[in-house]
Amino acid sequence: MSLQRIDEFAKSIIFEAGKRIRNAFSYNLVIETKSNANDLVTNIDRETELFFIEKIKTFDPTHKILGEEGMGEKVESLDGIVWIIDPIDGTMNFVKQHRHFMISIGIFINGIGKLGYIFDVMREDLFYAVAGEGAWYNDSPLRKLQPVSIEESVIGINASWVAPNRHIHHEKVIELIRKVRGTRSYGSAAMEIAFVVSGKLDAYVSMRLSPWDIAGGTIIAKEVGAIATNLHGEDFDFLNQDTFIIANPSIHKELLDKYIVPYR
Ligand code: IPD
Ligand code: CA
Ligand code: CA
Ligand code: CA
């Protein structure tokens, strides 16, 4: 089956899922907590993941699906065609703000990212990429990122990393925050990644993300020249949680060498 056929199908189910999520605001959300009181999940997160699984399995039962809510089969390798799906990235924003949440999907073939999608459900804005062919924001091609200095950068980072913590040297983060033009925190990793690949942010950093938070975004990143790694500068492990940075290529190394320095 051609990549183009899979791409057309992926877009069609993303738009359909988006419509279902927007309609869901007219009836009650059932909100539950997962690992802690701030880790929310709703019936719509689960229903959306199930929707994707049913559609994809009907399209081609050999495709495998790794989703945040665990509604699909257990995926232990990236052999074959694997969809890595976050049905709603930014569940807290979904519940509290009714906006600023994304559908995030990466499609891998034998471990190589081929198609990436980040869909802003309320704005109906799609960021996507086809490996080797380019990236787009709706109908407009996304340009290669232009060089930027640390002093000119706007960085997506969570405020908690300026307080003493067990992950990174917080005093270096304070130094970074004094130096850059500004910082932002949007509450959806996929949204922050979409902003980096489209030049609206120059970097985004997180101490712990899962494959579904970044799968779509890293595929788009490659097409515009953004660099995505863990905080040790290594490739992210798509089957486990890891630290994460995505940045304009002109500042990625400097950020890791001087400012976002993990312990160990
Ligand atoms: C979360 C969001 C958030 C990030 C968390 C993720 P979810 O995803 O991307 O911005 O800081 O680490 O878990 O749970 O809303 O899909
Ligand atoms: Ca979640
Ligand atoms: Ca997520
Ligand atoms: Ca989610």
**Phi and psi torsions of 49, nearest 5°:** -60, -45
CA angle 81-13-241, nearest 5°?
50
Residue 41: what pLDDT?
Answer: 93
List the strands of the sheet with 227-229, edge to edge: 182-184, 154-156, 203-209, 242-247, 227-229
CA distance 1 to 218: 23
Query: Of the residues 213, 214, 242, 246, which should be mutated to test ligand 1's pocket, given the most ligand atoms within 8 Å of the CB?
Result: 213
Q: How confident is the model at residue 44 (pLDDT cuts 50, 70, 90)?
A: very high
CA distance 117 to 85: 10
Query: Would you call 28 exposed, middle or buried from its count of C-beta atoms within 10 A (0-12, 13-18, 19+)?
Result: exposed
CA distance 172 to 241: 24
Residue 26: what pLDDT?
Answer: 81
Ligand 1 pocket, residues with Cβ under 6 angstroms: 68, 86, 89-91, 187-189, 206, 209, 213
Q: How confident is the model at residue 73 (pLDDT cuts 50, 70, 90)?
A: confident
Note the ligand closest to the C-alpha atom of 211. 3
- Beta bridge partner(s), residue 109: 81, 112
The chain-wide mean pLDDT, for the chain, equals: 96
Q: How many CB atoms lie within 10 A of CB 99?
A: 12
What's the pTM value of the predicted model, to 2 decimals? 0.97
Pick the closest to residue 52 from 97, 81, 13, 101 (CA basis): 13
Query: Of the residues 42, 209, 243, which should be mutated to test ligand 1's pocket, given the most ligand atoms within 8 Å of the CB?
Result: 209
Residue 27: what pLDDT?
Answer: 79
Residue 80: what pLDDT?
Answer: 97
Average pLDDT (211-230) is 98
Q: What value of ipTM does the predicted structure carry?
A: 0.98
Percentage of the chain lying above the pLDDT 70 cut: 100
Q: State whether residue 87 is helix, strand or coil.
A: strand
Average pLDDT (219-233) is 98
CA of 200 to the centre of ligand 1 (A): 19
Per-residue pLDDT tens digits for 141-169: 999 999 999 999 999 999 999 999 999 99
CA of 119 to the centre of ligand 2 (A): 16
CA distance 146 to 142: 11
CA distance 261 to 248: 18
CA of 129 to the centre of ligand 3 (A): 19
Range in 72-76, 96-100, 104-108, 185-189 the model is least confident about = 72-76
> For residue 110, what are its two tokens?
């034998």
Percentage of the chain lying above the pLDDT 90 cut: 95
> For residue 260, what are its two tokens?
């976002």
CA distance 217 to 229: 12
Per-residue pLDDT tens digits for 26-43: 877 899 999 999 999 999
Q: How confident is the model at residue 17 (pLDDT cuts 50, 70, 90)?
A: very high
CA 38, 43, 48, 49 dihedral sign is positive
Note the ligand closest to the C-alpha atom of 189. 1
- Beta bridge partner(s), residue 25: none
CA of 178 to the centre of ligand 4 (A): 32
Question: Could you tell me the domains of the chain?
Answer: 3-141 (3.30.540.10), 150-259 (3.40.190.80)
Neighbours of ion ligand 4 (CB under 5 A): 68, 86, 88
Q: Quick check: 264 pLDDT over 80?
A: no
Residue 92: what pLDDT?
Answer: 97
